[in-house]
Amino acid sequence: MTMTQISDAMGLPKSSTHNLIETLSVRGYLYEVRQRGGFYPSRKLLATGEAIADGDQVTTLISEYLGRMAYETGETALLASRAGDDVIYLAVAESRQSIRYHAEVGSRRPVYATSGGKAILSTYHDAALEKELGGIAFADLRENTISNPETLKTRIREGNARGFFLNLSEYTPDVTGIGIPVKIEGRPLGLSIAGPNYRMEDRYSEFADCLHRTSEEIIRALHAAGLSADLYHKSS
């Protein structure tokens, strides 16, 4: 991209964009493809990203188990963390089937419209949950999307009772998600499986069993690596 294109895309003045480009170029992260032909990231940026990924023990280890879940169930397996009104996917193992739920690492979804998000919210005690739900900006994304705190609270209670949480086409049409919470390094994360409705709707118990079994395996592996992890047990 040219400096003007970068400036427009970032919404920054050209002077500020010029300074950023110059700094990144000097440090080896960008290079000019030809005179006035625009700038492109160098492989130093890739190497930096790989170094960051290699240093993340948690997602590196969990990614292996997500892959196993995706293979066993035939559906996409995900690990999510809360980011305000959203969840962000930390690790994803996509189904190998041609029709599947697609998500990428770094993708964001509304916390109230995902099974992993509901699982994370379920870890809050009653007073804290009331406060959290009151601060969420709900949006009517789909016909099935939860649009108010009371309905979301009811769905969370239902999930607590049955031992897993559901997303019934609340964000992506014709997609079902099943999730549970896991506490890793002191924070609640959402572990989930998602796929097209017609392959998911009669297999809730099977997927829930896979999630709970895999979460126990993940916790044992994290403990062996010297990391803190536990199944989430909500106290009264």
Cα 144 to Cα 88: distance, rounded to the nearest angstrom: 21
DSSP letters of 96-117? SSSS-----TT-EEEGGGSHHH
The pTM of this model reads 0.81
pLDDT of residue 233: 58
Low-confidence ranges of the chain (pLDDT < 50): 235-236
CA distance 76 to 96: 8
Instruction: Return the pLDDT at 48.
Output: 86
Task: Give the C-alpha separation, 65 to 91, whole Å.
Answer: 10
- Angle CA 101–102–103, to nearest 5: 125
- At residue 87, φ and ψ (nearest 5 deg) are -115, 155
Q: What is the pLDDT of residue 33?
A: 87
Helix axes 43-54, 57-73, angle to 10 degrees: 80
Can you tell me the distance from the alpha carbon of 156 to that of 149, in angstroms, rounded to the nearest whole number? 10
pLDDT digits (tens, 9 = 90+) for 134-181: 999 999 889 999 999 999 999 999 999 999 999 999 999 999 999 999
